[in-house]
Structure 1
Amino acid sequence: MANVDGEWDCVTKSPLGEQKSVLTVRSDGNTFTGSNVGAQGTLDIIDGKVDGNKLTWKSEMKVPMPITLDCSATIEGDTLTGQVGAGAFGSFPMTGVRKG
């Protein structure tokens, strides 16, 4: 199993500009918990799943509007690449690097 645990400095390219955040991942077998903390507040990880080096999860965004985000990421070494799906607003690329 890939080492997906840790804190990741992430950037999501959204229509509101680049959104910086820190994604925290704590895996337990094929599931994970954690949060994604940025300027818009803290988004808890909901239904986090681990499949090798691939992560999928949901988060409930409250600001600037309530929406469920569908997220996915692939971790290779100290690099994270993924997508943040925002329903009718489309999907936005996310990149990150492991902190520390």
Structure 2
Amino acid sequence: MSSLPGTWDLAMRSPIGTITATMHFVADGDTLTGVATGRDEQVPLRDVRVETGPGGERVTWSQSITRPMRLNLEFEVIVTGDHMEGHSRAGRLPRTSVTGRRVPTP
């Protein structure tokens, strides 16, 4: 079972500044789904996949946003405990650094 499910605060460093979002990942049996919230919109996560490796869990997903502009984003991060680090890419634009921390449950 993946350690991914839960709520995560993400920060993406981009050419227009740091963009923040909250990701909520949910496990339903062997299927992972999720929702991203940020910039006054909430969007579903598509094709959430986890591969376990020696350095942690490699997690990939895609999502579409409309703010600050309409983009289709692809994410690839490594999750280790309550931290994630990796990158996102929007089409032909340069990769954007992504970091995240799990939000503690009360």
Normalised by the length of structure 1, the TM-score is 0.87
The whole-number CA distance in structure 2 between the counterparts of 1:28 and 1:14 is 32
Per the TM alignment, residue 2 of structure 1 is displaced from its structure 2 partner at its CA by 4.0
Q: Residue deviations 1:19-78, cap 9 Å, x none?
A: 111111113465421111112522310111111211111111222332211111111001
Aligned length: 100
The residue number in structure 1 matching 2:101 is 97
Query: Per the alignment, do residues 74 and 30 of structure 1 end up closer, same or farther by CA in structure 2, a change over 3 Å counting?
Result: farther
Aligned residues: CA RMSD: 1.6
Q: Do 2:39 and 2:68's aligned partners in 1 also have CA atoms closer than 8 Å?
A: no
Query: Unaligned stretches of 5+ in structure 1?
Result: none
Which residue does the alignment assign to 2:33? 33
Q: Out of 56, 61, 66, which is 2:70 matched to?
A: 66
Give % identity: 28
- Verify: 1:22 aligned to 2:22, yes or no: yes
Matches of 1:25 and 1:95, distance apart in 2? 16
Alpha-carbon distance in structure 2 between the residues aligned to 1:44 and 1:83: 19
